[in-house]
Amino acid sequence: MIRVILFDIDGTLVDCRGAGRLAMERAWLEIYGIADAARGMKFGGRTDQFLFSELYRIHKVPVDATRHEQFIAVFIHLLHHYLAQTDGSLLPGVWGLLRRLREEVPGVVLGLLTGNARLAAELKLRCFDLWGFFAVGAFGDDHHCRNRLAEIALDRSERYLGRELEGREVLVVGDTLHDVRCAHSIGASCLAVGTGSVSWDQLREANAERVVRDLTEVKGCDLLGEMSA
Ligand SMILES: [Mg+2]
């Protein structure tokens, strides 16, 4: 039986119309004076910490702790600004699924497993009144590697529940191959959803336990039984 469901954010719950990329590029320009710094970089499924380290590597900028802190502060400030400007949207079926899971299966813990830094995740989800659904989470500033984030999310879920969890009690919901891999790395199953940057066919080839076009195809209680069978 599934006891914990860990959701990715971008492409899975919400579409922020590239607000994160805009904020990161503008913050990099303000702090390091380089325009279009993230051009060509793929953001889907990557952690913020990984993306930051890629920017330092690609542009051969030495990491200075004080300037990095300034960069993060500007990034978060600009993310807030761009989220208000870019007219993002909740993805189909999200609100109904979260509400059904909370109301119909109260024993199941809802959590986050996202590459977004914690503050970025909170800003994005508060835009859509979703932040309050989630009791636990692992975030992009916890580690640069998504598989490690899955371990951290599992550990925090265990502490929240006060007992150890087996991988098969955990379900990861995400929109990229990275989500599928990180789920399997902790023995969890994955519900892959085709509302992000990866095609439905590619997700099917990634061996997710279930692939749906969007979350309107998922009914809360059925999901728990089906995925843990
Ligand atoms: Mg995603």
pLDDT reading at 26 higher than 80 = yes
29 within 8 A of 35, measured Cβ to Cβ: yes
pLDDT tens for 158-167 read 999 999 999 9
Q: How many A from CA of 12 to the centre of ligand 1?
A: 6
Radius of gyration of the chain (CA): 17
pLDDT reading at 229 higher than 50 = no
Residue 101 pLDDT: 93
Domain spanning 4-16+89-228 has what CATH number? 3.40.50.1000
113 within 8 A of 174, measured Cβ to Cβ: yes
This prediction has a pTM of 0.93
pLDDT band of 224, cuts 50, 70, 90 = confident
Structural domain boundaries of the chain? 4-16+89-228, 19-85
Cβ-count burial 9-46 (b if 16+ within 10 Å, e if not): bbbbbbbbeebbbbbbbbbbeebeeeeebbeeeebbbb
Residue 87 pLDDT: 87
Cα separation, 177 vs 18, whole angstroms: 19
Q: How many A from CA of 193 to the centre of ligand 1?
A: 9
pLDDT tens for 148-193 read 999 999 999 999 999 999 999 999 999 999 999 999 999 999 999 9
Q: How many A from CA of 135 to the centre of ligand 1?
A: 19
Q: How many A from CA of 188 to the centre of ligand 1?
A: 17
Q: How many A from CA of 155 to the centre of ligand 1?
A: 21
Q: How many A from CA of 17 to the centre of ligand 1?
A: 13
Q: How many A from CA of 81 to the centre of ligand 1?
A: 21
